[in-house]
Chain A
Amino acid sequence: MLFALGKSLGSEEGFGEVKAYLTSPLAKFVIWALLSALLYHLVAGVRHLIMDMGVGETLEGGKLGSKIVLAISVVLIVLAGVWIW
């Protein structure tokens, strides 16, 4: 990611190269995979912060919370896929 950032900022040619590379199906898939992991991490992390505030700390709440996290993550990951392709 840093390599792509450095190249895209280094020169106009580098920016074009990165842009062209990101149109390939393999690159799109890799970006989608990375984005999916990050989105899930983000949603689960927000759940941690909410639980730190004392919400949903019971067994029942924990089970419900994990289901909500999975549901929101799936929606975001699908949206990310739609956006990339």
Chain B
Amino acid sequence: MVTNVTNLSRSGLYDWMAQRVSAVVLAAYFLFLIGYIVANPGIEYTQWHALFASNWMRIFSLLALVALGAHAWVGMWTIATDYLTPMSFGKSATAIRFLFQAVCGVAMFAYFVWGVQILWGI
């Protein structure tokens, strides 16, 4: 029976691509944020608020948040299908892995909604 239906797109190649595209987005976002904070030591509230209130930063942040969800999903899928297997858990492996992935999925969805609330609440 095929129980391996929890990858992101039903296509390994597409997952592979999603992993890499989201990686580049996340790298760009991280490097930008770190660079911004390093370049602006002792930053004050007004400047910090203005940065995240700007439209392009909202788009960039939302893009990074979506990329984080996809990136983490593919990553956790890889770990779960590598290690939470019948070889180590016997018959209950699929149930354990499904539960693990469900927790990951709920966490990522929660982070996404939370992030949207923060970005649009300011």
Q: Is chain B found bound to chain A in the same assembly?
A: yes
Q: List A residues at the B interface (Cβ < 8 Å).
A: 2, 5-6, 8-10, 12, 15-16, 38, 42, 45-46, 48-49, 52, 83
Establish whether residues B118 and A2, one from each chain, have CB atoms under 8 Å apart when the complex forms: yes
Establish whether residues B52 and A9, one from each chain, have CB atoms under 8 Å apart when the complex forms: yes
Give Cα A52 to B114, complex, Å: 34
Establish whether residues B45 and A2, one from each chain, have CB atoms under 8 Å apart when the complex forms: no
Contacts of A38 in B (CB 8 A): 30
Contacts of B121 in A (CB 8 A): 6, 10
Q: List B residues at the A interface (Cβ < 8 Å).
A: 20, 23-24, 27, 30, 38, 44-45, 48-49, 52, 111, 114-115, 117-118, 121-122
The secondary-structure label for the interface of chain B is helix
Contacts of A83 in B (CB 8 A): 38
Chain A nearest CB, measured from B15 CB (Å): 14
Contacts of A42 in B (CB 8 A): 27, 30
Q: Which residue of B lies closest to A15 (CB)?
A: B45
Q: Which residue of A lies closest to B37 (CB)?
A: A83
Chain A nearest CB, measured from B17 CB (Å): 10
